[in-house]
Amino acid sequence: MVIAINLILLIGLIISGLPVPFCFMTAAIYMAVVYNLSFSFLLPSGYYALNSLTLLSVPFFIMAGALMSSSGIAERLTTFAQAFLGRLRGGMGAATIVACAIFGAISGTCSSAVACIGGIMIPRLEELGYPRYYSVAMVGCASVLGQLIPPSVPMILYAWVTQQSVAACFLATVIPGILTTILMCIVNWFEVRKMKTVKTEPQIPFDEKIKVIGKATKHGMWSLLMPIIILGGIYGGITTPTESAAIAVAYAIVVGFLIHKELTPRILGQALVSSSSITGVAVLMLFFVSILAKVYTMQRIPQQLADFILSVSDNKYVLLLMVNIFLIIIGMMMDDFSGTMLSAPLLLPLMIKIGVHPVHFAAIMGTNLGLGNVTPPCAPILYLAGRIGGASVDQYFKPALKFMLFAQVPVILLTTYIPGLSMWLPKLVMGIK
Amino acid sequence: MLWIMNTKLWKFLEYVQKGIMILSSMTILTLVLVQVALRYIFVMPLMGVEEIATMVGFWLYFMGASWGTAERIHIKADLMQVIIKDPKKLIWFKVFISALSVILSGMMVYWGWGYFKWGITRWQLSSTLMIPMVYSQSSVFVGAILMFFYFIIELVDHFLQATGKKPLDFIEEEKTCKEGEEASCIP
Amino acid sequence: GPKWTFKMGHANPPDTPYDKLAHWFADTVYERTNGQVKINIFPSNQLGDWTETFELIQRGVVEMGFQIANAQYDPKLNFAYYMPYVVSNLEEAKEAYAPGGWAYDIIKDLWSEHGIKALAVYPIGMAGVSLKEVPPSPGDPTVEKGMKVRVMPLKACSLTYEALGYIATPIPYAECYSAIQTGIVDGQMGGPPFQAWQFRDVNKVWIQYNDYFEQHWIVMNQDIWNSLPADIQKVIQDTAAEASATRWKQVETEDEHYRNVLKNEFGWTIVMLTQDELNACADRVRKIVWPQMKEMLGEELYTKVRLATFEKK
Ligand code: NA
Ligand code: NA
């Protein structure tokens, strides 16, 4: 009952247009009042949650995103992408989705993918005739791919909580991630077909095309090095994601000042101010989400929900479907970190009982919580995309729903009911039985 | 444009907040880069650099969050304009929401004060460098005060609009989207 | 329903020996108080990491815990968490940390200075380091190993592993795995072989340095403890002592068990240092690191520790 009222309160406040961090705050206050908890620990809980070096990668990647725009890197990168894909229908949309998947692999978190790719691509796509709200929906949903394509911070947390191999958990979500990417590109193709505004460039002869690509490559060489530096740093074992994010910022500053000569101290200052504000509003949300998650944990709210699930059925497929719904609700209520921390220890014993491998469950959690992050009412990642792209929920909700229904939901179902989809790679590479 | 935005107080706050945001951004950037360099060039990472970076990060977060309140870029769902079609009712609803924001950020100020006092009396030290953690904890309190202040301004602004004064939303008047500022500049 | 309901957290995953014993503790207290006291167990740091739960217990928001001391509130508590080579093997650890042992008494008093009632020690195991390959002369601390080891973000940890000849790199636990996987560090310290077992896919070597004896404490908020009637207090105290005794027996076999699993199932190399090598490590670390901890611990405690350890011999 308390859970239901709390949920209704949360949803109602979010719909009312109260800044989302304060909706979470109110929900936490409600819980604290009902359960007679002292308020003294609420802010410290938020403080401890933010006191993390990993979280520093968020401002860095948002900075990198802002600077990639103002130092001319983004422009050259998109010119490059356009040279390849501009002539295909919906090509730039597909390029954006793929970019989100790749960027997610760079950052390990979805919010930085939203900030960076969204900041660059949404204005670009608008120039090509894609409506802003559509691009926001696309970037928001695609950024969830960052959780599925390694490295992924929620997967590391899952592995620690459930005593599984991180390497295996990373591999478990790779195929679902790629599958989601492909389905999203297909959805985009169908959507763009209906948009009369979207421009495609006229066909040109092959040798001409080679010239265009060559020119774009030469022109964008310094820009193209940036993702290589970030990825190389992480996969080459040189830097942590936070450090490579910092290197990306430094690189963007150097290229902007010395090579492209488009950056001035004034623009740099503006970029830092704007990236700090965006980081601040995003982190404030995380602050209150962590507080609410802590109150939920203390009152064993997820435990009660799980007990409810078990009381309804003991059929494996019915249970799996209910677990899907449960995870999506958790994902709706909180961020992927807290959602993982809460659900994994809670549901794993149940999963093992009904014969689901823990590594398989990693993929189930990853895909479900990912959807939860973009499912209103509490869709932090989608709202962040809206914030960055400058579109309102009522506009971008519909196209976002299409991406969810036709790209994310099918992958969730496939991942849940076909263990081989997620287990094949870990079995192949790690020899997991 | 509200009268207060032309006052010295507002300009001063803007100057200080933007200063802290730029300074903290550059500081965490430098610290993290120096640590990478030390690890590879001198094969001797410095103890506690990450600790300072994280502490400075708090000032970035809460200065950013409160300046985000001034610029009204908080993450929120804009569904009410679909539900309430009458602009007059809508603006009065916005007054209500702003009032709620003022109350909630006011509570945050109150708790922030409690946390600040706890920090001063218990004097928690960071694990490696043993820096008083109240230096970063106080950012929560300062951020809350600033948010409270900016939410009051927003409330006054919405109230003036609701009582028939002409729209005073400063964002549309003040800012025009410049190139390279897409992320921050939202029409 | 129960008259008292308490929250109690611990750091380890569900269904580990630690978690099972925690549940045994909760169930037994419930039975022996005829259902008056119900303790809910929160595994895997669900309530927060040790720094946060320490504060939550101080505030009384969380009532109980299997808790590590948080030296952030009092540098003296470093002694209760990470002070290297207070003991150099399990026998010495038992002498020092078992009820009535010299370190046991010191730590119990330290807890009470912070409004926390320490009920019993909850031993975890003898620590060491896991690595990608065997370093040159692992038993000789004066030899530079040229390997980067993740250490807990504590000053004493960095100093200790530098004194043992490694390049100490402080990294939070959450980032430790990917740091090893990607090669930013070559290994990790911070716990017994059980912790190394978490890194079974990315490391290949275990070196039993015995640099510290990891112990958590069964604790309760002092005010809440004081508010309980004497008979309830007695049940909780006695059950905690029993849990502690059970855990002491487990520790003896558990470190051995996980070393064997790593060796036989995952092909690890296990390096057990001789007592002479351990003494060499201990002497060097005590000589280099301890003086730097003097200021943290304060003159009085520092002298006590010195008297109780090598000046005793
Ligand atoms: Na990722
Ligand atoms: Na959601």
Over range C274-278, report the average pLDDT: 94
- In the predicted structure, residue C23 carries a pLDDT above the cut 60: yes
Distance from C-alpha of A89 to C-alpha of C97, rounded to nearest angstrom: 71
Split at pLDDT 50, 70, 90, the class of B177 is: very low
C229 exposed, middle or buried (CB, 10 Å; 0-12, 13-18, 19+)?
exposed
Instruction: Report CB contact under 8 Å: B51, C153.
Output: yes
Q: Rounded CA gap, B109 and B112, in Å?
A: 5
CB C124 within 8 A of CB C12: no
Which has the closest alpha carbon to C16: B135, A345, B178? A345
C129 has which bridge partners?
C189, C207
> Residue C178 has what pLDDT?
72
Could you give the ipTM of this predicted complex? 0.89
Residue C43 has its nearest CB partner, among A45, A240, A345, at A345
Strand-strand pairing, C64-67 and C128-131: unpaired
Who wins on pLDDT, C179 or C71? C71
- Contact criterion met (CB < 8 Å) for B45 and C169: yes
pLDDT in tens, A100-153: 877 665 555 566 677 777 877 888 888 888 999 999 999 999 988 877 887 676
Average pLDDT, chain A: 82
**CA dist., res. A413 & res. A415, Å (int):** 5
Q: What is the pLDDT of residues C85-101, one digit of tens each?
A: 999 899 999 989 988 89
With vertex at residue A359, the alpha carbon angle to CA A355 and CA A360, rounded to the nearest 5 degrees, is 60
C183: which chain A residues are within 8 Å (Cβ-Cβ)?
236-238
Torsions phi, psi for A432 (to 5 deg): -70, 140
Give the DSSP letter of residue A56: G
Q: Angle, nearest 10°, between helix axes A110-127 and A73-85?
A: 70
pLDDT band for position C25 (50/70/90)?
A: very high
Residues near ion ligand 2 (CB < 5 Å) are A 332, 372, 375, 378-379
- How confident is the model at residue A235, as a pLDDT? 60
Report the residue from A43, A50, A272 with minimal CB separation from B21: A272
Contacts of A391 (CB under 8 A, 6+ apart): A132, A133, A136
Measured in angstroms, the CA of B83 and the nearest CA of chain A are apart by 10
User: C150 CB near a chain B CB, below 8 Å?
Assistant: no
Facing A281 at nearest CB: one of B29, B65, B81: B65
Read off the pTM: 0.84
- Can you give the C-alpha Rg of chain A in angstroms? 22
C44, C200, C201 member nearest A161 (Cβ): C44
Extract the tokens encoding B187. 């029409």
pLDDT per position as a tens digit, C199-256: 998 899 999 999 999 999 999 999 999 999 999 999 999 999 999 999 999 988 999 9
Our measurement of the distance from residue A112's CA atom to the centroid of its chain's CA atoms, rounded to an integer in Å, reads 8
Whether residue A115 lies within 8 A of chain B, CB to CB, comes out as yes
Exposure string over A348-373, b if 16+ CB within 10 A, otherwise e: beebeeeebbbbbbbbbbbbbbbbbb
CB within 8 Å: C13 and A234: no
Which neighbouring-strand residues pair with C218? C66, C120
Q: Kindly state the tokens that stand for A168.
A: 């295996």
State pLDDT tens for residues B123-168: 999 988 889 999 999 999 999 999 999 999 999 999 988 887 765 5
pLDDT at B178 (0 to 100): 37
d(CA A152, CA A101): 12
Interface size between A and B, measured as CB pairs under 8 A: 219
Structure tokens at A126: 């608008």
Strand ranges in chain C using DSSP code E only, listed in sequence order: 4-9, 37-42, 64-67, 116-126, 128-131, 148-151, 167-170, 187-191, 205-208, 213-221, 269-272
Give Cα B147 to chain centroid, integer Å: 7
Distance (Å, whole) CA A251 – CA A243: 12
Q: Do B130 and C168 touch (CB under 8 A)?
A: no
Closest Cα partner for B48 from B120, B170, B133, B137? B133
Contact yes or no for A309/C63 (Cβ under 8 A)? no
* Residue C161 pLDDT exceeds 80: yes
Q: Which chains touch A (3 or more CB pairs under 8 A)?
A: B, C
Using pLDDT thresholds of 50, 70 and 90, give the confidence band for residue A335.
Answer: low
Give the Cα-Cα-Cα angle C69, C70, C74 (nearest 5 degrees): 105
Sequence-separated (6 or more) residues with CB below 8 Å from residue C164: C141, C145, C209, C211, C281, C284, C285
Identify residues of A whose CB sits under 8 angstroms from chain C CBs.
37-38, 40-41, 44-45, 48, 52-54, 151, 156-157, 159-163, 165-168, 234-241, 294, 297-298, 300, 341-342, 345, 348-349, 430
Which of helix, strand or coil describes residue C238?
Answer: helix
> pLDDT at position A343, please?
74
In the numeric block, the tokens 């802290």 are attached to B20
Q: Where are the domains of chain B?
A: 3-180
Whether the CB-CB separation of B118 and B37 falls below 8 Å is answered with: no
Q: Which single residue is written with the structure tokens 């823990």?
A: A358
Answer with the residue of higher pLDDT: A258 or A65: A258
Distance A152 CA to ligand 1 centre (A): 4
Tokens of C296: 């943290």
Note the Cα B95 to chain centre separation in Å.
21
**A317 Ramachandran zone, left/alpha/beta (phi>0; psi -120 to 50):** alpha
Two tokens, residue B44: 């001797």
The residue behind tokens 């265009």 is A212
Q: Identify the residue whose tokens are 């220890």.
A: A345
